Amino acid sequence: MHFQKQELRIKHNMPTINHSSIEISNINSNQEVLDRVQLNELFVSIEGEGIFAGTKTLFIRFSGCHLRCYWCDTKYSLSTKSGKSYTIDEAKRLIHQHLQPKIYKVNFTGGEPLLQPLSLIALANFVKNELNIKTYLESSCFDWQRFESVLPYFDICKVEFKTSDSKVIEPSKSYDDLIQNELKCLELALNRTDKISFVKIVFTNSTTTNEIRDLTTKIFQCSNIGNLSGITLQPSYQFDSPSTEHILKIYDEVYPFYKDVRVIPQMHKMLDMN
Ligand code: SF4
């Protein structure tokens, strides 16, 4: 996937925010049609991952992801054409229709929500500032500039770090470039004291302890790392799932850096929920 450098301006009607216009650089015009959003699905379920596992959540799954991790469990959402195209107003109505009482947060997930940053801002702003519900961003953090642009509209950021055995595909960019973007996104999130930011790392039986140690070392070189709210290690499910022995070895690599590290499997899979 090739990303063209260009600038666009948000045209969505967003009456409650101060930013009358927001510039976002590095947006691929092929990925986003202004005033429309491509959504794969909306549903209410129980959060199954990370430090907010167990909370009742409205999930908004954006269509499209270019990374294609080999253990991806939402392959049906990877095509940018999957799901359906909505106007922003239609998507807001859809969110209204799906809301249920006692929803703790709205999780903007994918696919990769940052492929449609303008729509993401419009809908996150609507949820956060008009519906007054917490907003949660779940992203691979492949592009720090896009992340920085959407950050003001989110209360909770889950910054995911990909290990090399995720086998992500992003032509013209290297795996190191992805890690650098993820580190920069984490730093941007940690610099904001009004956010809850945590790290998730999916690992398999092939993930080496050396790689986890190197990755954790880089994470703990980020400024304001004291603002980190958690690290969750997520064993891969059904793809090269780690043994108990390997899970313990991976845990032991992170523990010296962060005593509150948690191994949390995907709880929704055990509950047979979405
Ligand atoms: S980044 Fe997420 S949505 Fe994209 S391929 Fe990887 S696991 Fe799937």
- What tokens were used for 259? 């005593």
Q: How far from chain centre, in Å, is Cα 174?
A: 20
Pocket of ligand 1 (CB under 6 A): 65, 67-69, 72, 74, 78, 110-112, 140
The answer to the question of residue 161 being in a domain is: yes
* pLDDT at res. 34: 72
Is residue 14 situated within a structural domain?
no
In a domain, 29, yes or no: no
- How far is 36 from 84, CA to CA, in rounded Å? 10
Query: Is residue 5 included in any domain, yes or no?
Result: no
User: The domain containing residue 124 runs over which residues?
Assistant: 34-270
Has residue 237 been placed in a domain? yes
Q: Quick one: average pLDDT of 102-108?
A: 98
Q: pLDDT of 11-64, one tens digit each?
A: 333 333 332 333 344 444 445 667 899 999 999 999 999 999 999 999 999 999
pTM score, whole prediction: 0.88
- Does some domain include residue 12? no
- Whole-number Å distance between alpha carbons of 192 and 131: 22
Q: At what angle do helices 244-254 and 209-219 cross, to 10 degrees?
A: 30
- Report the C-alpha gap between 99 and 132 in whole angstroms: 12
pLDDT for 146 equals 97
Cα 68 to ligand 1 centroid, rounded to whole Å: 6
Exposed, middle or buried, 146 (CB in 10 Å: 0-12/13-18/19+)? buried
Distance 20 CA to ligand 1 centre (A): 32
In which band, very low, low, confident or very high, does the pLDDT at 143 lie, cut at 50, 70 and 90?
Answer: very high
- What CATH number did the domain enclosing 101 receive? 3.20.20.70
Q: How far is the CA of 144 from the centre of ligand 1 (A)?
A: 17
- Supply the mean pLDDT for the chain: 88
Which of helix, strand or coil describes residue 55?
coil
Residue 26 lies in a domain: no
Question: Does residue 197 belong to any structural domain of this protein?
Answer: yes
Number of domains observed in the structure of the chain: 1
Using alpha carbons only, how large is the chain's radius of gyration in Å?
Answer: 18
